Amino acid sequence: MKKILLQLLLCISFMGYSQDYTTYVNPFIGTTNYGATNPGAIAPRGMVSVVPFNTSGEGNTHEKDQNWVSFPYAYENKIFTGYSHVNLSGVGCPDLGAVILMPTTGELEIDPKKYGSLYSEEKAQAGLYSNHLDKYDVDTKVTATQRSGISKFSFPAGQANILMNLGQALSNESGGMIKVVNDQEIEGMRMVGSFCYNNPKTIYPVYFVMKVNHKAGKVGVWQQHRKIEGIEAQWMSAYNGQQRIIEDAYYPIIGDSLGAYFSYDFEQPTEVEVKIGISYVSIENARENLETEVANVSFDEIAQRSKNNWNDVLSKIDVKGGSNDDKTVFYTALYHSMIHPNVLSDVNGEYPAAKTRKTKITEGERYTVFSLWDTYRNLHQLMTLVYPEQQLNMVNSMLDIYDETGWLPKWELNSTETFTMVGDPAAIVISDTYMRGLDQFDQKKAFEAITKSAYPVDGGNPVRPCIDDYIKYGYIPVEDELDKKLWASVSTSLEYNIADWNIAQFAKKYGDEDKYKEFLARANGYKKLFDKETDFLRPRHKDGTWYSPFDPNHGANFEHNVGYVEGNAYQYNMMVQYDIPGLIKQFGGNKSFTKRLDEIFSTGQYDMANEPDIAYPYAYNYIKGQEYKTQEKVLELREKYFTNQPDGIAGNDDTGTMSAWVVFSMMGIYPDAPGTPQYAMTTPAFDEIKITLNDQFWDNKEVIIKKTGGDSNRIASIKIDGKTIKGYFIQHKDLVKAKEITFVMK
């Protein structure tokens, strides 16, 4: 009967979808070439992801204690040491990768360097991952809800062990507590934090509760004892500086390198299910999350629920035509764009407030993991268009952070501010959301928040360092960088310009004409950094002279470079998306601008893996007669860098930013200028794309994008509801009210 009910559930689950979209999700895409994604099981926007942890083992290509490793999983690694339950996807710095669960057989071993296993038969799909542990002949499967992870281990007959290791993690923070509650339950917490090592004060606890559906025959904990020197050391020789196992310990153990175990003696092969609830508030909330989301529900039912949830979000964009690889690249990218930002609040609405970590309650969802220097460029525009209810929660989360800390976030992680990267990106995200018509948030508070970051304050402005000099000179002088007051004077100036332009647009729509004029003038500051002798935006001194030596080639591939963040002068040459016509004038006209843009691509200066130049292929759309180059470059970049392979993302996914680029590009539209509610247009990858709109926010249920005509990649004309348009841009308001957009190909 149970099998029949499950089959019925499977049938019902797809009745609302034209296809099973999860078949086109390949979670292995981006798991090598420093894409930093992982194939673990996760629900859409999940706080929890159950990820095979394989970056700690002898013989691995990427070993966390020997290299800079920002990911819990690498495709080319071979040694598995458990499943981590809190993780990040597509980031460049190590953190989390904690609360690690490991099944073993035979004699109990608690050292991961000894109990690690080779694995095989690895499979992954949206919400489900499995492998076979060769050393133990154990099959493992994992799935997840938003706040809980579920594992199924198929043990052979004999002794089996389930380890909860709090000592091992991707995070280099230490300390925690673990307690065996009974022979089926363990609870505890582990400290994590210090993302990118920018702010050593940002350590915090993650709490968990673990429940197993089989009673253990033996239980215990282990703890690393600190090394004692001197006369007392001789009396402690049995455990001095060593890990010690304490059997039958049903009380809290506190310290570093902690763990707990359940051991079994199975007379026959046995399946064991382990459920782990996570919270950033308390153990009680972790237990409530677990009991609310997965209590009295089987592994298979939870896996099916996760698949249904993924089908629900993926089905918002339905594509026809194209190859299976094209569809896999597209839907995997959409999948990756739905991982971060993720839920931070528990099922009861509680979450830790930013800065103080006091428990607060949200009415909606509190989101976290705001890698805003990356995601302001395209991911939030994708959310606004397709998932506006989520984007509103993200904006409200940012405004809540403002209430809690006095500042909008810059690179926020689990209610801590990491101060990673440069600029004032939250102002851009909020303004862009507002300008696209998604304005159901506290506009007064938002305007107050985005303008506060734009001025000097007593004690310093943590969001915009050197804002006083920026206002005084119209740019950030290179002296501020050389004096180590900030990172990269040119890059930071340009980011401030973009933020100021966005604030100006918000102010104009909001009705503050004075602020509009003020911030519009500030946004023109990029012109003071434009050297007409070289046609580059370059570092400048306070006295107006140019910094030298100047080499526009220097700085690529993360070389340290005065003036620029993670790039060189070529890669920042056109990063004035909000005023490309004005930039063209700085170059002296279309011809010089096009020549430099061509040079960036032809000489290998363009870096697809780098955010500053991510919109450059679409800049050709501003030059009449050159639009075909946008179509050529986007196709070339898509086919070269985005593939159905483990290295199929152009470097780090940056919490979905690279994925959002390819999602938009394959649909034939791209939000090239954040804050301008428009999309640059290019050749779609598919014959038909149906975007289901949320008619609670947009006055339309769906828009269909079609590609007709010839077989070339060149666009002959574009029609909106049968009317041919001029140019290669569409306004957001026109997109969301259109019934059909037709690309007629040559």
Based on the number of CB atoms within 10 Å of its own CB, is 265 exposed (0-12), middle (13-18) or buried (19 or more)? Answer: exposed
Closest-CA residue to 417 (of 206, 202, 204, 205): 202
DSSP-assigned letters across all residues of 33-53: TT------EE-TT-S-EEEE-
Kindly state whether residue 280 falls inside one of the protein's structural domains.
yes
Alpha helices in 342-416 (DSSP H): 372-375, 379-386, 388-405
Closest-CA residue to 100 (of 109, 88, 89, 87): 87
Q: Strands, DSSP E only, in 137-249?
A: 138-144, 148-155, 158-165, 176-182, 185-193, 203-212, 218-224, 243-247
**Phi, psi dihedral angles at 456 (to 5 degrees):** -65, 150
Kindly state whether residue 186 falls inside one of the protein's structural domains.
yes
State residue 199's pLDDT score.
77
State residue 10's pLDDT score.
45
Lowest mean pLDDT among 9-13, 539-543, 649-653: 9-13
Kindly state whether residue 219 falls inside one of the protein's structural domains.
yes
Closest-CA residue to 433 (of 730, 700, 734, 697): 697
- pLDDT for 721-732, tens place per residue? 999 999 999 999
Question: Which pLDDT band holds residue 555 (cuts at 50, 70, 90)?
Answer: confident
**Average pLDDT in the 527-551 region?**
98
Lowest mean pLDDT among 196-210, 249-263, 687-701: 196-210
State residue 239's pLDDT score.
67
Mark 334-363 as b/e (b = at least 16 C-beta within 10 Å).
bbbbbbbbbbbbbbeebbbbbbebeebebe
Rounded to whole angstroms, the Cα distance separating 350 from 357 reads: 11
DSSP 696: T
- pLDDT for 393-422, tens place per residue? 999 999 999 999 999 999 999 999 999 999
Angle subtended at Cα 538 by Cα 534 and Cα 544, rounded to the nearest 5 degrees: 95
Mean pLDDT of the chain: 95
- The two tokens of residue 404 are 């809690």
Q: Select the more confidently predicted residue: 17 or 113.
A: 113
Angle subtended at Cα 561 by Cα 560 and Cα 562, rounded to the nearest 5 degrees: 130
**Average pLDDT in the 309-331 region?**
98
Query: In 3-state terms, the chain is what percent helix, strand and coil (to 5)?
Result: 30, 25, 45
Closest-CA residue to 685 (of 739, 624, 733, 643): 643
Q: Which domain holds residue 86?
A: 25-312
- Identity of the amino acid at 204: Y
Rounded to whole angstroms, the Cα distance separating 148 from 22 reads: 21
Rounded to whole angstroms, the Cα distance separating 405 from 205 reads: 19
**250 and 180 in contact (C-beta within 8 Å)?**
yes
**75 and 62 in contact (C-beta within 8 Å)?**
no
Angle subtended at Cα 48 by Cα 44 and Cα 54, rounded to the nearest 5 degrees: 110
Question: Which pLDDT band holds residue 240 (cuts at 50, 70, 90)?
Answer: low
DSSP-assigned letters across all residues of 623-680: STT-HHHHHHHHHHHHHHH--SSTT-SSS--TTTHHHHHHHHHHHTEE--STTS-EEE
* Percent residues over pLDDT 70 in the chain: 96
pLDDT beyond 90 at 61: no
Rounded to whole angstroms, the Cα distance separating 455 from 443 reads: 19
The enclosing domain of 49 has a CATH number of 2.70.98.10
- pLDDT for 139-170, tens place per residue? 999 999 999 999 999 999 999 999 999 999 99
Closest-CA residue to 667 (of 682, 650, 651, 657): 682
Question: Which pLDDT band holds residue 64 (cuts at 50, 70, 90)?
Answer: confident
Our count of domains for the chain comes to 1
**Phi, psi dihedral angles at 677 (to 5 degrees):** -75, 65
- pLDDT for 162-171, tens place per residue? 999 999 999 9
Rounded to whole angstroms, the Cα distance separating 563 from 23 reads: 45
State residue 236's pLDDT score.
65
**Average pLDDT in the 611-621 region?**
98
Kindly state whether residue 211 falls inside one of the protein's structural domains.
yes
pLDDT beyond 80 at 491: yes
State residue 13's pLDDT score.
47
Q: Select the more confidently predicted residue: 495 or 63.
A: 495
Rounded to whole angstroms, the Cα distance separating 325 from 262 reads: 44
State residue 644's pLDDT score.
98
State residue 9's pLDDT score.
46
Kindly state whether residue 470 falls inside one of the protein's structural domains.
no
Lowest mean pLDDT among 5-14, 141-150, 425-434, 691-700: 5-14
Using alpha carbons, list the distances in angstroms from residue 186 to 347, 594, 685: 20, 63, 50
Cβ neighbours, 10 Å, residue 235: 9
State residue 11's pLDDT score.
44
Cβ neighbours, 10 Å, residue 521: 12
- The two tokens of residue 193 are 């934090």
Kindly state whether residue 566 falls inside one of the protein's structural domains.
no
